[in-house]
Structure 1
């Protein structure tokens, strides 16, 4: 099970740090720069002060520009299959939804109803390249990181469930470990999960080599140069 890859200590640590920190820590764990499994471009967060969402991806594709072309009964059945899939939560989970209409998304899938339903199922947030609405009425402690805000649901309907998707340049497979906040999102590679706690601690220690001196009253270029040299030696 994917959920066995993360213990409660790491889960709480990941919830306490922002997504840029996780992005940097992944590079520390990998021992090189160039990690690229993150969203590209500006996203909108429903709760920018609410902290990060962390969990394994439950994926789907939706569309909303045009009515579904399939038989109505097939559309309804897929909708129920979607909700059943989302309800089967056994650990930290995040709904990750690709709107296939992107970049012309018009249908807000994430609003008051869906956030409260998915929170009730036990998910910890939603990530999408699509639209959200009902700001101020969304489920409490259920952040949504979306591509845009809009008023209408259009002809929104589910196209695919439990499938590989793409959100603003980031490929996501079912059960990928997701970290997302107001900066966007990353997929944490499975091979670095076990070393991520140590990588975050190493990253914080490295940053203090420059942040500590920078916060002193006598900080100047000479002290910056010395601190930066130490910082450069320590970082990935």
Structure 2
């Protein structure tokens, strides 16, 4: 991923990237995205972009493993996140879903992960401490709640599932208030040009619709030009 692509990805929303991937692939049907409505802690901040560092957590019941095992895994988790190649994104599956209660993502954990240089979080789990979370570190979560329950780390560096999206360690993630997606490796080289093409193509209809005197005839002409230009 080039610096210019990274800069562009941070400026555009996830639906734009979703459409641009189809432009790069030359066909409809891209489906590596989340399903359902997610919550975003900072809907007006730039998109989350980075390579996935994955883990699984649980919180409804206390862990059954010895305390020293849980503690060692927790520290291994933080080391794993701290050493992630940048840009990086934490992608966390709460295995209690859809009955998640443990707000792993509050003021302390978000501040720690931001301090590690990570770009944000995508999780099907719970966030809290809204209003106290650090700027520049969005959380895209499954829900909002007050308690941390018995939250603990179950697995590190394994494939995870978040709102129907399977994410493997190292996958390139784009996420915002619309949800998240995995950018296929084979489109990365073409993606910047595809985004730029998409933005130019959309202007055909948008510019026409915003002009004074816009009517069906003007729309029909603009739409025909738009249809020729898009996937």
TM-score (norm 2): 0.99
Q: Post-superposition, which runs of at least 4 consecutive aligned residues in structure 1 deviate over 4 A?
A: none
Specify the alignment match of 1:22 in structure 2.
17
* Alpha-carbon distance between aligned partners in 2 of 1:173 and 1:194, rounded to the nearest angstrom: 20
Specify the alignment match of 2:54 in structure 1.
59
TM-superposed CA distance for 1:229, in Å, is 1.0
* Alpha-carbon distance between aligned partners in 2 of 1:204 and 1:7, rounded to the nearest angstrom: 19
1:34-63 per-residue CA deviation (whole Å, 9 max, x = no partner) reads 111001000010001112010000000000
1:47-83 per-residue CA deviation (whole Å, 9 max, x = no partner) reads 0111201000000000001001111111111001000
Q: Secondary structure at the residue paired with 1:135? A: coil
* Structure 2 residues not aligned, in runs of 5+: none
1:127-146 per-residue CA deviation (whole Å, 9 max, x = no partner) reads 10000000011122100000
Q: Secondary structure at the residue paired with 1:109? A: coil
Superposition map of 1:134-153 within 5 A: 134-153=129-148
Specify the alignment match of 1:233 in structure 2.
228
Specify the alignment match of 1:180 in structure 2.
175
Q: Quick check: 1:193 aligned with 2:188? A: yes
TM-score (norm 1): 0.97
Choose the corresponding residue for 1:80, options 75, 81, 89.
75
TM-superposed CA distance for 1:152, in Å, is 0.1
Superposition map of 1:1-236 within 5 A: 6-236=1-231
* Structure 1 residues not aligned, in runs of 5+: 1-5
1:10-35 per-residue CA deviation (whole Å, 9 max, x = no partner) reads 10000000000000000000101111
TM-superposed CA distance for 1:209, in Å, is 1.3
TM-superposed CA distance for 1:125, in Å, is 0.4
